[in-house]
Amino acid sequence: MDRPKSARKTPHDRPVCWENDFSINNLDENDFLNNAPPADRGMKGFGNWRNHIPDELIPGDEFAEWVSRDHYPIPAAADRENYMPDSDTGYWMSGLGDFLKVMKSARECDIAVGSVLDFGCSTGRVTRHFCIQENIPDVWGTDLNQRHIRWLSRFMPRNLKPVFNSAMPTLPLSDQSVDVICAFSVFTHIDTFETAWLAELRRILKPGGLCYLTVHNEDTWSSLGAIDESNRLLSSMIGTGKFTMDMLQGPMPGERLVYRFSEIGPYRAQVFHSNAYLENTWGRFFDIEDILPLYHHRQSVVVMKKPSMRLGIFGKAAA
């Protein structure tokens, strides 16, 4: 039996950009405006690099070699998620510093890095260094911004596999397929499906592999009380009407704090986690090796490993 005419759906009933409810820039086809590669700038553009990266991460004169290897363009400020919009060299060095920190954690965990997933990679601020500096053969970069993935596909080395994903907790990567997963400023924004995403990352990570994720925790909360209200994170919090500077002088309220600065699209929230919450909830999916306070600007880093395989009661491997 036919439905009443008033109940029938037509193509015009669907919003034109319905995909943007759970991903970003699906229909974007605008061209890119790139800036000069690091190698073309020479060391004159990196004169103050030692102020950005600790000496122990790059001993001796190694830095000049890292610069000379990178012949790939720097994305324009509009395409790099507000990282160092006024400084191309600062942007590049921030990615290098985070890359070196991940590799340091991998060495400390005795992990030989042959495959990496940069979850929420944007236009490759960190990802590019896995491809160029270490020439890791199997590098994956995923993001819910289609424009970022298009940029990576056009301009980054071929050992990178860029993948466009949605906010739904699934990735098209094989079980136990990567040695290291990193995510910068991603779980700081995942207000829903958090544990499903943790389970998905656990599925992809090899037994004994490293998971290196940044978070807002109590250390972040404490640091906010000492900064200017014009700070982007702080102003977004106060702008909701739920927070005051006086609140930030006290302890973080609750074990997990979520507030939304928008009701539109997947990028809409800031999330804070207490260390107790991380230990109790995230620690069910991974072995937490360390929580490094404010190791990524005002974010802390949770260093975790996936438990190695063990034999079940019938002799079969169990994760």
Q: Give me 273's structure tokens.
A: 């986690």
Among 260, 259, 257, residue whose Cα is nearest residue 278? 257
Phi then psi dihedrals of residue 230, to 5 deg: -80, -10
Q: What is the pLDDT of residue 188?
A: 97
Distance, in Å, from the CA atom of 12 to the CA atom of 290, rounded to the nearest integer, reads: 52
Q: What is the pLDDT of residue 314?
A: 55
Phi then psi dihedrals of residue 130, to 5 deg: -60, -35
**Could you give the 3-state DSSP secondary structure of residue 43?**
helix
Q: What is the pLDDT of residue 144?
A: 97
Distance, in Å, from the CA atom of 257 to the CA atom of 220, rounded to the nearest integer, reads: 12
Which residues are bridge partners to 210 per DSSP? 180, 305
Distance, in Å, from the CA atom of 83 to the CA atom of 155, rounded to the nearest integer, reads: 19
Distance, in Å, from the CA atom of 238 to the CA atom of 231, rounded to the nearest integer, reads: 10
Q: Is 310 left (phi over 0), alpha (psi -120 to 50) or beta?
A: beta
pLDDT means over runs of 10, the chain (319 residues): 45 69 93 96 80 81 91 97 91 95 97 97 98 94 98 98 97 98 98 97 98 97 82 82 82 92 89 98 98 95 91 55
Q: Which residue has the tokens 């940069």?
A: 118
Is-above-0.95 flag for pTM?
no
Q: What is the pLDDT of residue 143?
A: 98
